[in-house]
Amino acid sequence: MDKPNLQILYTRHRQALFTLALSWTRCRSLAEDAVHDGFVRICRADLSRVADPDAYIFAAVRNAAIDQSRRAQANGRLKEKIAMSLFDMNQEDSEDPRSKAECDEEQRLIAAEVDGLPDESREAVVLRIYGGLTFAQIAQIVGQPLPTVAMRYHRALGRLRMKLEKHV
Amino acid sequence: MRLDPIKDSDAATEQENAHIRQLLGQMPLAQPSSRLDDRVRSTLLRGRSRWIAVGTFSSAAAALVAIAIVLPRHSSAPSQQIVSNNSGSPVLPVSSPAPGRLRIERDYKRIDDVGVVARLNGVPIRQMHYRGERQVWYFDAKRNTRLSVTVPVDRVVMVPVDTF
C-alpha cells in the first residue's frame, strides 16, 4: 500500500483530532501537546503497512492524549484546573439576535451534557460525529467490540435527546 | 461523513437521534491554535527529510560497497586524487597520478544558527543546524566509465553558551 500523505490527513482531521484530545485531557495546551505527540509517533511508524490511515492517526492521537492526561494527573497539573469544554460558546456569528438566543440556550445545554458524558461515551460521539468515522473504525481505535462502541454512542445520544425533550 | 449501514433494529434509534446528531454537528467546537499547525507541520517536514536522508544514505552505502568491490580489480596504479576544501575550489592532487584515472571529492556545508532554544540547569543551549553534501566522482578514461556518489548530511547540534 502507498504511504499516505500525512499533511493531507492532518488538514482533513485537524479539528476532530484536537476535539478528541481535548475530550481526554480537558485542557487546551495538553490537547495540543497530545496531537503533536501523536504525529511525532506517526512519523516514526511505517505507514506503508497501515490498512486504515484515518483510524491509525486517531488511535495515535488518542493514545497520546491518554498518556498526557495520566501524566498531568500524576503531576497534579489537572487538579487545580477547571475542565475545558469541547465547545466554544463565545464564537461570533451573524444570525439575528432572537433566534441566536434560543439557539444559544439549546447549544449551552447540549455542551454541558456532552461535557458531562462518561469519557468513553463522549469519545464515541466525538469520533462518530466530528471525526466522521464508522463504528468499525471506532472499534479499532478504542480496542473494543463494535457493538460496545455502537451502544455507547446510541446511549449517549439517547441521553442527550431525553435532556433536550425535558428542557423543551 | 461516512456512516455504517444501519440494521433494521437500529433504524428507529437512528431516526430518533437524527435531530440530536444534526444539533451536535452544528455545535461550535473549540478551535486549536495556529501554533499547533506550525508544530505538526514542522514535525511532518522533519520526519520526511529524515526518511529521505536515510534512503539516500542507504543508496550511498550500497554504491560505496560496489566501488569497494569494483575498484580494487582495476587499481594496478594509484589513482589521481583531487580534494576540494569547503569553499568548493579544487586542490591539487596529493597522490601520484595514474594515467586516465581520476577521483574528485567536493564538500558543501551550510551552518545555520537557530539561536537559543532551551535552558539546561540555567545554561542557555544554542541550536546549530549543519546541512551539507559530499560529492565524489570517479572517472576511468581507459575503460570509459564514470561513477558519482552524493551523500547528504543533516545534523542538529546543541551547544551550551558561555555566560559571563
Domain ranges of chain A: 1-84, 96-168
Joined together, the cell numbers standing for residue B23 give 444539533
Question: What are all long-range contacts of A118-121, with beta carbons under 8 Å and residues at least 24 apart?
Answer: A119/A23, A119/A24, A120/A152, A121/A152, A121/A153, A121/A155, A121/A156
Task: Answer yes or no: are the C-beta atoms of A157 and B15 closer than 8 Å.
Answer: no
Distance (Å, rounded) from C-alpha B51 to C-alpha A41?
14
Domain-located, residue B19: no
Domain-located, residue B22: no
Say yes or no for a CB contact (<8 Å) between B44 and A6.
Answer: yes
Beta bridge partners of B156: B129
Beta bridge partners of B135: B106, B150
Distance (Å, rounded) from C-alpha A123 to C-alpha A135?
12
Distance (Å, rounded) from C-alpha B126 to C-alpha A121?
46
Nearest-neighbour CA in chain A from B40: distance (Å): 6
Say yes or no for a CB contact (<8 Å) between A110 and B27.
Answer: yes
> Which domain, by its residues, includes B132?
41-160
Say yes or no for a CB contact (<8 Å) between A44 and B36.
Answer: no
Distance (Å, rounded) from C-alpha B161 to C-alpha A130?
47
Say yes or no for a CB contact (<8 Å) between A19 and B29.
Answer: yes
- More confidently predicted of B2 and A5: A5
pLDDT bucket at A4, cuts 50 / 70 / 90:
confident
Domain-located, residue B151: yes
Q: What is the pLDDT of residue A72?
A: 85
Spatial CB neighbours of A166, under 8 Å, sequence gap ≥ 6: none
pLDDT bucket at A133, cuts 50 / 70 / 90:
very high
Beta bridge partners of B130: B111, B155
Nearest-neighbour CA in chain A from B38: distance (Å): 10
Searching chain A, which residue's CA lies closest to the CA of residue B46?
Answer: A43
pLDDT bucket at B77, cuts 50 / 70 / 90:
very low
Say yes or no for a CB contact (<8 Å) between A158 and B3.
Answer: no
Distance (Å, rounded) from C-alpha A42 to C-alpha A31?
16
* CA of residue A107 relative to chain centroid, distance: 17
Say yes or no for a CB contact (<8 Å) between A15 and B29.
Answer: yes
- More confidently predicted of B14 and A35: A35
Q: What is the pLDDT of residue A31?
A: 93
pLDDT at A140 over 70: yes
What angle is formed at CA B76 by the lines to CA B72 and CA B80, rounded to 5 degrees? 90
pLDDT of A43-77, one tens digit each? 888 888 888 999 999 999 999 999 998 988 887 76
pLDDT > 70: percent of chain B: 59
Domain-located, residue B126: yes
Asked whether the CA dihedral A126, A128, A131, A134 is positive or negative, the reply is positive
- More confidently predicted of A151 and B9: A151
- Total domains in the fold of chain B: 1
Q: Which of B3, B16, B30 sits opposite A88 (nearest CB)?
A: B30
For β-strands B80-83 and B145-160, DSSP reports them as unpaired
pLDDT of A82-116, one tens digit each? 678 898 877 665 455 556 666 778 888 899 999 99
Distance (Å, rounded) from C-alpha A114 to C-alpha B97?
80
Distance (Å, rounded) from C-alpha A36 to C-alpha B36?
7
Q: How many CB pairs under 8 A join A and B?
A: 103
Domain-located, residue B20: no
- More confidently predicted of B140 and B162: B140
Flag whether residue B49 sits within 8 Å of chain A, measured between CB atoms.
no
pLDDT bucket at B98, cuts 50 / 70 / 90:
low
Domain-located, residue B72: yes
- The pTM (predicted TM-score) of the whole model is 0.61
pLDDT bucket at B55, cuts 50 / 70 / 90:
low
Domain A96-168 in CATH 1.10.10.10? The answer is yes
Q: What is the pLDDT of residue A144?
A: 95
Distance (Å, rounded) from C-alpha B80 to C-alpha B100?
9
pLDDT bucket at B88, cuts 50 / 70 / 90:
very low
